[in-house]
Every structure is written in structure tokens, then in C-alpha cells.
């Protein structure tokens, strides 16, 4: 499961639409198909070692096990989705990935109790399914196809529950830890920071296990080593993201748009770029805003675009050649601050924004680079 506090734009992996879960889009990462291919290559042989079946049947059983594995993962995520929606939280989508699945919860749980409920739903579902499958498997003849499927289902769900209960971000156990710390300290961001660091420790331990455990066992375990290293990388990357989110969350309330505004020069669309740059430097302006014949804002000139234009070409180019049209969402109120400011730049990603008061008077330009610099100055990396 994944829930995201306000942050700078630019995330969410792409995938292939694959239906819906409780009305939430299910997306399959292309990398997932690689794991299916590997399972089909090595699975049938392992099936024949445990169950007396023919070659063709071993492939069918392998396919059934693939369905059961990802059925367990999706059941786990579906429970997160169901509880989150029952609590009024929006869920963007469920992404089936190489190492499992992620439910992208768009709203931050407002209480530690809600965080606990959403996080615990998945492991509880997995434990329940493991118990049911184990009970069914106990009634079937050993080493029969039915027994293998039931036993595998119990094992898979047990592993999913155990793995997700590890107490570090981004796992469910990390969110449970965060909920408990949040409840005890009343500090949501500090709880997230601690859970993120615990997640990094878990990632390190997993990487060590990937190298040490196979070395004390016989046989070829290169696939197990690779898989554990991928898991370690996944946990480390997402735990690091949680730490960054905690730092951003601590800084965001102190952000004020009025302190980040650059002075801007308004220019006619046909003015040569070189002349516009000269005028801006003369008055100390750090942004160019294009106006039409009625003095209405028509475009914003990107600082990066100006810097990328060779000096010798600037006299022969008009300002309008580099201007981006002023669209809805590119005009911000100077009163914006904190989470409202971050949300505004998330909704309409851009490199520059106009800043204007309720009276329609232009106050300047917000450059995204200045916003990022403010976050970095506060220790956010």
C-alpha cells in the first residue's frame, strides 16, 4: 500500500490497464510479465518433482500457481482498497509490479487509528486466506495436485503476510509502526521519519541475507540472490522516499509564495529577445511576461529557454518565440502557502507561474527552481 503527502510533481510508474478492483483501476507493470515467463521456464520441472503429473499438466499447474500467487497479492491489496474507501479515502489505482502490488491511496489518513486500520487490512486478509488454504490442504491426499495448490496457497499467503508485517516503510508493518508512534507522540511526520529509517535497516539486512544465506546452502541459488537484492533495493528506495516525504512535510508549512516571487518585466510579444533581456537586467527583473495589445498576460518566458538560446541569435528572435501561453492554473495568488502552494504546482506542472493579486495586478513570477531550492535549503534532498 502507498499513501502520499503533498510533494513536488513527477511520480507514478506507467503500466497496462487490466480491469478494476472495487472500482479502482488495476494497472500491470510490464516487468511483471518477465516474472511470469521465468515461472513458466522453471516451474514445471519443480512441479513434476513434487507431484506425479505429465509434462503438459505440469505447465497447467504452474499457470494455476501463478494465478494463486498474484491472486493472493491482489486480495491483499483489495482489502487495503476496500478499507480505505470505507473510510472515505480516495484510491488512485492498484499497480501490479515485479515484486508485488501497490495501492496508491491519494488521501493521507487523518488519524493514527485510520492509518492502522488501512495498513492492517492486507496482512489480516493474507493470514485468513493462509488459514483457509491450510485447512483445505490438510483434508487432501499428500502430493496430489489439489494438495499442492492448497499447500502453496497457504504458504504464499503466509509469506505475503509475514513479509508485509516487517516493521519498516514502505511495508504494511512500517505503516503500523508509524500509526503506533503517531498515536504515542502525536507527531505524524516524526513517526514517518522513524519508520522510514527502520525500512532502510530492513533493506540492508535483506541485502546481507541475499549474499550470506545462499553461500551456506548447496545448489544454484543465483535467482534467489537476485530476487532478494531486488527486494532490498525496493525497500531501500521506498523507505528513502518516506524519509524525504517526512522532511518535505516538515518544511511545507513554512513555505510562502510571497517570499519566493521573482520580479518580472512585462514586454510586448514582438520585442526582440536581446532587448527584453537587456531591459530586465537594467531593472533587476528575473522573469519575462508577455502582454498583448490590451496589456493582458499572454505568455511566460522560461528562464531556461532564454539561457539555452545562443546570445548571437537573441537579437533576431522575438520574445513570443520562447513564451508559453498563460493557461488555467498558471496564475497563482500571492497568499498561497504551505500545502496549498504545493498542491497548486502539482495540479499544473510548469517551470514558471504568474503571481497576481485579487485586483489582477501582476506581482511577479514563481520559478519552480526557486521552490525546489527552498526545500533543499531546509535540508530536503
Whether residues 105 and 16 fall in one domain = yes
Whether residues 244 and 316 fall in one domain = no
First to last CA, the chain: 24
Look at residues 252, 287, 303 and tell me which one is the last residue of a structural domain.
Answer: 252
Whether residues 78 and 130 fall in one domain = yes
Residue 132, Cβ neighbours under 10 Å: how many?
A: 14
Residue 280, Cβ neighbours under 10 Å: how many?
A: 19
Q: What is the pLDDT of residue 378?
A: 58
Q: What is the pLDDT of residue 220?
A: 53
Whether residues 305 and 174 fall in one domain = no
Whether residues 328 and 354 fall in one domain = yes
pLDDT digits (tens, 9 = 90+) for 286-342: 888 888 767 778 888 888 888 888 888 888 988 888 888 888 788 888 888 888 888
Return d(Cα 250, Cα 269) in angstroms, integer.
41
Whether residues 127 and 246 fall in one domain = yes
All residue ranges of the chain with pLDDT < 50 are 2-13
Return d(Cα 167, Cα 160) in angstroms, integer.
14
Which among 248, 226, 264 is positioned nearest to 372, based on CA atoms?
248
Whether residues 245 and 290 fall in one domain = no
Judge whether 231 and 99 are in contact, CB under 8 Å: yes
Whether residues 121 and 87 fall in one domain = yes
Return d(Cα 161, Cα 7) in angstroms, integer.
30
Q: Considering its fold, how many domains does the chain have in total? A: 2
Q: ∠ at Cα 105 (104, 108), nearest 5°?
A: 140
Q: What is the pLDDT of residue 46?
A: 80
SS3 of 139-167: the string is: CCCCCCHHHHHHHHHHHHHHHHHHHHCCC
pTM score, whole prediction:
0.71
Look at residues 197, 221, 252 and tell me which one is the last residue of a structural domain.
Answer: 252
Q: What is the pLDDT of residue 217?
A: 55
Which among 335, 348, 264, 336 is positioned nearest to 306, based on CA atoms?
264
Which residues, in sequence order, are CB contacts of 238 under 8 Å at separation 6+? Answer: 2, 169, 170, 199
Q: What is the pLDDT of residue 358?
A: 76
Range of the domain at 277: 257-377
Residue 12: all three cell numbers together = 507514478
Amino acid at each position: 500500500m502507498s499513501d502520499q503527502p503533498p510533494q513536488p510533481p513527477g511520480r507514478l510508474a506507467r503500466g497496462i490497464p487490466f480491469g478494476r478492483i472495487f472500482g479502482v483501476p488495476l494497472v500491470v507493470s510490464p516487468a511483471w510479465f518477465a516474472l511470469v515467463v521465468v515461472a513458466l521456464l522453471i516451474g514445471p520441472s519443480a512441479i513434476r518433482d513434487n507431484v506425479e503429473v505429465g509434462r503438459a499438466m505440469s505447465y497447467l499447474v504452474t499457470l494455476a500457481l501463478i494465478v494463486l500467487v498474484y491472486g493472493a497479492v491482489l486480495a491483499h491489496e483489495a482489502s487495503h482498497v476496500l478499507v480505505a474507501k470505507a473510510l472515505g479515502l480516495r484510491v488512485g489505482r492498484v499497480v501490479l509490479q515485479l515484486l508485488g502490488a501497490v495501492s496508491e491511496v491519494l488521501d493521507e489518513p487523518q488519524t493514527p487509528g485510520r492509518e492502522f486500520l488501512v495498513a492492517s487490512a492486507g496482512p489480516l486478509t493474507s493470514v485468513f486466506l493462509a488459514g483457509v488454504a491450510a485447512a483445505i490442504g490438510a483434508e487432501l491426499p499428500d502430493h496430489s495436485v489439489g494438495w499442492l495448490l492448497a499447500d502453496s496457497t497457504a504458504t504464499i499467503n503466509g509469506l505475503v503476510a509475514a513479509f508485509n508485517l516487517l516493521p519498516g516503510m514502505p511495508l504494511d508493518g512500517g505503516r503500523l509502526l508509524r500509526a503506533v508512534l503517531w498515536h504515542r507522540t502525536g507527531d505524524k511526520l516524526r513517526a514517518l521519519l522513524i519508520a522510514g529509517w527502520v525500512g532502510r535497516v530492513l533493506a540492508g539486512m535483506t541485502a546481507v541475507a541475499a549474499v550470506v544465506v545462499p553461500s551456506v546452502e548447496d545448489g544454484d541459488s543465483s535467482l534467489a540472490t537476485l530476487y532478494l537484492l531486488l527486494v532490498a533495493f525496493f525497500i531501500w528506495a521506498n523507505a528513502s522516499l518516506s524519509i524525504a516525504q517526512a522532511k518535505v512535510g516538515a518544511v511545507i508549512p513554512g513555505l510562502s509564495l510571497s517570499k519566493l516571487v521573482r520580479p518580472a518585466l512585462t514586454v510586448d510579444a514582438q520585442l526582440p529577445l536581446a532587448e527584453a533581456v537587456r531591459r530586465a537586467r537594467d531593472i533587476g527583473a528575473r522573469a519575462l511576461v508577455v502582454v498583448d495589445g490590451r496589456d493582458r498576460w499572454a505568455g511566460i518566458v522560461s528562464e531556461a529557454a532564454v539561457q539555452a538560446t545562443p546570445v548571437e541569435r537573441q537579437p533576431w528572435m522575438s520574445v513570443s518565440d520562447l513564451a508559453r501561453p498563460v493557461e488555467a492554473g498558471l496564475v497563482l495568488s500571492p497568499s498561497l502557502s504551505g500545502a496549498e502552494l504545493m498542491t497548486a504546482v502539482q495540479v499544473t506542472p510548469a517551470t514558471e507561474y504568474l503571481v497576481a493579486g485579487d485586483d489582477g495586478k501582476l506581482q511577479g513570477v514563481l520559478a519552480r527552481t526557486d521552490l525546489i531550492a527552498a526545500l533543499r535549503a531546509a535540508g530536503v534532498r
